[in-house]
């Protein structure tokens, strides 16, 4: 598998797109620049200063598909031309007010309905904390017996929303990913997701549970899901990610006085992720798999596991995935080799998606080598196209 083929990797991007991406990743490479941008953006948001003029041609253009489902359609169609499918991700990050929850719920319903019958939209997704007050979720995860009557009602409503979204997905024949949350919120998400999988995954996986493999307990949890699913007669949908909240999780564990739930080293996390892939692939007749990673070795491992298992590369039970605007060298080269690939394509109005965009910028800065790798590949492709143009002119 050659992830250095930049001609394939950036086949979707114009020269202008590449130059914009180079400028953006050059800025993101600086932690100081990202911190300053975050502070200024938060101040502007509090003061109600319009930011679309600055954000849309830069961060937004790189990492977001559009402001609405309809505007997102163009990005989805372009990906489709390159045999890459889409995960529709409504990425507005509001609060826990009832109107914010209603908006997130209704937009997720719209995304499911929009995806119905469109084979090039492989999944929809939602974030559980968008469907409930996060503080109540924490309380329910730690000790459900301590909930007040109002909090019990809120948790019941949360369960009803999740089950309702999964039922809508099931009725529409659309697979749905339930994202992972922080350690102190995840237990209630686990419980309800297991219930939804048991209910809607009888013939195939519609509901997908997300396991953050930087957690030390997730490999054993995967095995327990497998055992439970065999007893209860359902097919678990499993989405693997490494994990998104490492620094926050360590700080929370120290503050609250419980054991750090995260693997001590990156190597241990990498091993946990790869062991999860191997376990599911060894039992693929009992699972469906969504592998969400930008890690070269894990993507190569899964590709090799598919080939060594004599499975078709486009087996509908197995998908690779990367974020829109990142690691195109992985996504496009895997797709060119015939594997199932989808991109997480966020959409939301500019002001609502800014927290997501800032997190993407911070993650690129903190991920070891990620931004440098992106920049190196972009520069290589710019030079390749420049040299190709020069050769053409010389020949003429």
Q: What percent of the chain has pLDDT over 90?
A: 72
pLDDT, position 366:
55
Which segment of 59-63, 149-153, 206-210 scores lowest on mean pLDDT? 59-63
Q: pLDDT tens, 9-38?
A: 999 999 999 999 998 888 878 777 777 777
As a whole number of angstroms, the distance between CA 143 and CA 154 comes to 15
Q: pLDDT tens, 259-276?
A: 999 999 999 999 999 999
CATH of 65-347, one of 3.40.50.170, 3.90.440.10, 3.40.50.2020, 3.20.20.220: 3.20.20.220
**Across 238-258, average pLDDT:** 89
For residue 104, the surrounding DSSP H or E stretch is: helix 98-115
pLDDT, position 244:
79
As a whole number of angstroms, the distance between CA 31 and CA 37 comes to 10
pTM reported for the whole predicted model: 0.92
Domain boundaries, the chain: 1-64+352-396, 65-347
Residues 6+ apart with CB under 8 A from 137: 128, 129, 155, 158, 181, 185, 188, 189
Contact 371, 25 (CB under 8 A): yes
pLDDT band at residue 101 under the 50/70/90 scheme: very high
As a whole number of angstroms, the distance between CA 253 and CA 249 comes to 6
In this predicted structure, the answer to whether residue 226 has a pLDDT above a threshold of 80 is yes
As a whole number of angstroms, the distance between CA 86 and CA 123 comes to 7
Average pLDDT, the chain: 90
Longest dimension (CA), the chain: 79
In this predicted structure, the answer to whether residue 368 has a pLDDT above a threshold of 60 is no
Buried b (16+ CB within 10 A) or exposed e, 232-264: eebbbbbbbbbbbbbeebeebbeeeeeeebbbe
Q: pLDDT tens, 62-71?
A: 889 999 999 9
As a whole number of angstroms, the distance between CA 189 and CA 302 comes to 27
């Amino acid at each position: 598998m050659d992830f250095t083929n930049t001609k394939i990797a950036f086949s979707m991007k114009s020269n202008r797109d590449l130059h914009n991406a180079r400028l953006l990743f050059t800025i993101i490479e600086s932690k100081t620049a990202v911190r300053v941008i975050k502070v200024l953006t938060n101040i502007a948001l509090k003061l109600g200063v319009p930011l679309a003029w600055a954000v849309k041609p830069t961060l937004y253009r790189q990492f977001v598909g559009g402001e609405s489902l309809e505007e997102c359609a163009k990005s989805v169609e372009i990906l489709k031309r390159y045999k890459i499918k889409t995960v529709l991700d409504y990425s507005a990050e509001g609060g826990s007010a009832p109107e914010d929850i209603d908006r997130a719920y209704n937009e997720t319903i719209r995304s499911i309905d929009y995806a119905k019958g469109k084979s090039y939209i492989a999944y929809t997704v939602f974030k559980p904390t968008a469907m409930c007050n996060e503080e109540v979720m924490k309380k329910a995860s730690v000790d459900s017996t301590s909930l007040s009557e109002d909090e019990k009602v809120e948790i019941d409503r949360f369960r009803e929303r999740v089950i309702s979204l999964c039922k809508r997905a099931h009725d529409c024949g659309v697979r749905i990913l339930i994202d992972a949350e922080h350690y102190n919120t995840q237990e209630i998400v686990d419980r309800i997701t297991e219930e939804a999988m048991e209910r809607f995954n009888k013939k195939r996986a519609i509901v997908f549970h997300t396991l953050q493999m930087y957690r030390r307990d997730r490999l054993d949890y995967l095995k327990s899901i497998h055992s439970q699913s065999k007893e209860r007669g359902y097919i678990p949908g499993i989405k693997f990610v490494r994990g998104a909240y490492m620094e926050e999780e360590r700080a929370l564990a120290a503050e609250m006085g419980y054991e750090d739930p995260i693997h001590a080293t990156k190597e241990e996390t990498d091993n946990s992720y790869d062991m999860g892939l191997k376990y599911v692939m060894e039992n693929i007749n009992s699972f469906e798999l969504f592998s969400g990673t930008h890690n070269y070795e894990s993507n190569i491992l899964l590709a090799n596991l598919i080939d060594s298992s004599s499975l078709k590369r486009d087996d509908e039970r197995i998908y690779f995935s990367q974020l829109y605007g990142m690691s195109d060298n992985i996504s496009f080269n895997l797709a060119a080799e015939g594997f199932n690939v989808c991109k997480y394509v966020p959409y939301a109005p500019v002001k609502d998606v800014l927290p997501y965009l800032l997190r993407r910028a911070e993650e690129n800065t903190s991920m070891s080598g990620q931004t440098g790798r992106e920049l190196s590949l972009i520069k290589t492709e710019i030079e390749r196209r420049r040299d190709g143009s020069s050769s053409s002119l010389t020949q003429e």
